[in-house]
Chains A and B, each alone.
Chain A
Amino acid sequence: MLNLAIRNLKIFFRQKSAVFFSLLGVFIVMGLYLLFLGDAYVGNSTLPGMKSLMDHWLIAGIVSITSITTTMGAFEIMVIDRANHRDKDFFAAPMSRRTIVGGYILCAFLVGLIMTLLSFVIGELYILSQGGHVLQFTVILQMLGVILLSTMMSSSFVFFLVSFFSSISAFSTASTVLGTMVGFLTGIYVPIGNMPDSVQWLIKTFPVAHSGALMRQIMMKEAAAFTFAGVPLEYRAGFEEFIGVYFLYGEWKSSPALHLAVMAGSAVLFFILATWNVSRKYK
């Protein structure tokens, strides 16, 4: 399985265009934010450190979607192998199908992890370059844990999606659509507070949005304490709900435990569904 995962990793990282396109969603967010969104959020605020706070918000959002778009890119190898019948060569060798499929999943997970960590590091460097502070060591550790879980969830979610595709063109279309949609579904392009009610509910039930919210809570904690010092609590709560740091379900406010549970739960659920779908198809 490791052997196949290494093979898949080599193939992925040697295709420069695949790596680029898997990060397209991230580049779009970056571009949008730098060009318009950033000013729109920060521009008329009189609170101190607002710029830095929103930088953290942005990076948390980016880190949360990187794992989705990059695992999607890595899983493309599986679709290509199937479409070109390249997997015949694997099936004619004494390896179980579980090993073969496992190789793709492991590769996607590793790609997601590497790229997400990379985007986290680059994001931190960006914050630093804008005059912000580097996160505390314990906060970084928390982030690493969430990144690990979020990548597991993403690879299992994308594995489930991939299990439906056998043509390359259908898959690339789906992956472009998802790469763009995921920015909306996690409330990055447009903050959740600006969305109509129905879309807000969609975001609140979308698993990836939960890793986004949790990462925001972790990354923005320190900056928020500084910015909102001496500001009424209601104001801060309203603002944080508006930009999707917390989700409100009626009266009930989401907790880190809920986000973690949603992430772990969907990782397991989608993995089971995908395995079922794949074993149904691979005959």
Chain B
Amino acid sequence: MSLEYLLPLLMLFGINTILSSSLNVINGYCGLFSMGHAGFFAIGAYASAIVTRDLIPAMALSSPTTALVLACVIAMLVTGLVGYLVGFPCLRLAGDYLAIATVGFGEIIRIVIMNTDFLGAQTGIPAIPGITKLWHVAAAVALTLWLINNLMRSSFGRAILSVREDEIAAQAMGINVRFYKTFSFVVGALFAGLAGALFAHMAQFISPNNFTFIISAQILLMIVIGGLGSQLGAVLGAFLVTFLPEALRFNQTLSENRMLFFSLMMIVMMLWQPKGMIGIFSRFLDRKEAPKS
């Protein structure tokens, strides 16, 4: 296995990890069924590409790391803002209705981009400086996981969890449910924006086809396979969804039908292991600990 083959794959794994752990804040921790994560991913990618293409093209050549950091920060801010604007009205909806609204949001983003000449319309944005290095991705992943982990261990994280557990009880205990729904939505959007920025400067070319509904479904798949509401599960899910298709490459039929394979996996997981891969591990651990008590 050559390095040229492995390197982009590792970067993709990192980007997928950021995507899955950010969606995990919304779906896993806050219990909001969001299916438009590719929309935020797209906004991050486009916002950052415009920054390095139009605002600081010279800097992208002279000091790429600084330029990338700048692009990431701006992408995150833009995505976070959109997350707020979308979340504020959408989060009045609950359950299935919210899921449908977020599917719509993801598609709207894609279609708007497709019809905006400034954003390259259907042809996309070519020749984005390829300044994302593996260590950038690794640092971004570490930062994302650390920040989300700290958030979830704090009182703010507990407030988010309480909304998932029981909205009525959370309200009665003084938690502003609408605020924390919007808050977790914005946090999820922010980090999806970061993933988008890293992706744009790795792929060097982005088009609306990179951000279809299938991508949203794939991110959702990662956290469902890994285990909803578990950070380790989100990483595990990202790993599987990134590398499993590669493992299937030896056989063309299997490789071409990998989505079928994924769907099957999702159904099996939902039926027998709703807590995901992480659920299997923790059950194993529980069994080991059981004799003590």
Question: Are A and B interaction partners?
Answer: no
B residues contacting A by CB (< 8 A) are none
